[in-house]
Structure 1
Amino acid sequence: MSVSDISELPLLEKFQIMEAIWADLSARIDQFEIPPEHLELLEERRAKIASGEMKLFKWDEVKHTIGRR
């Protein structure tokens, strides 16, 4: 099944496919490796947060600002 085939499916079938894919990926999570560049970015951000250079926001704070810029 191609991506274009999926776009033609009814919404319920799309959700069923998505759930099946998610279940399959979740069962194999230990087989995935995080790319080194993602780990580097994460460490950079952790360092900025620790130094006070970057601030974390709670999701409730952020979602109210989406679309207001």
Structure 2
Amino acid sequence: MNASDEAAEPLLCSAKGCRETAVWALRWNNPKIHTPERRKVWLACADHREHLADFLGRRGFLREVVPVEELTEHDG
């Protein structure tokens, strides 16, 4: 069996202590340290999406929220 035969590990929510599967990707950047096109990603389960989005939004970091399926190799 090679690496391509193994099941991919599920993406987990970024909320502290949460081990649920992520269904949302919160794309963000800190304009003080990141270039405008750079996107960092936090993952969120259904229960933590709003909490994480509020945290990033209050700081002016949140750029967009998309389903995990829309993540690309350029995210992160």
TM score, norm. by length of structure 1: 0.25
TM-score with structure 2 length normalisation?
0.23
Question: Which entry has the higher C-alpha Rg, 1 or 2?
Answer: 1
Please state which structure has a larger fraction of its residues in strand.
2
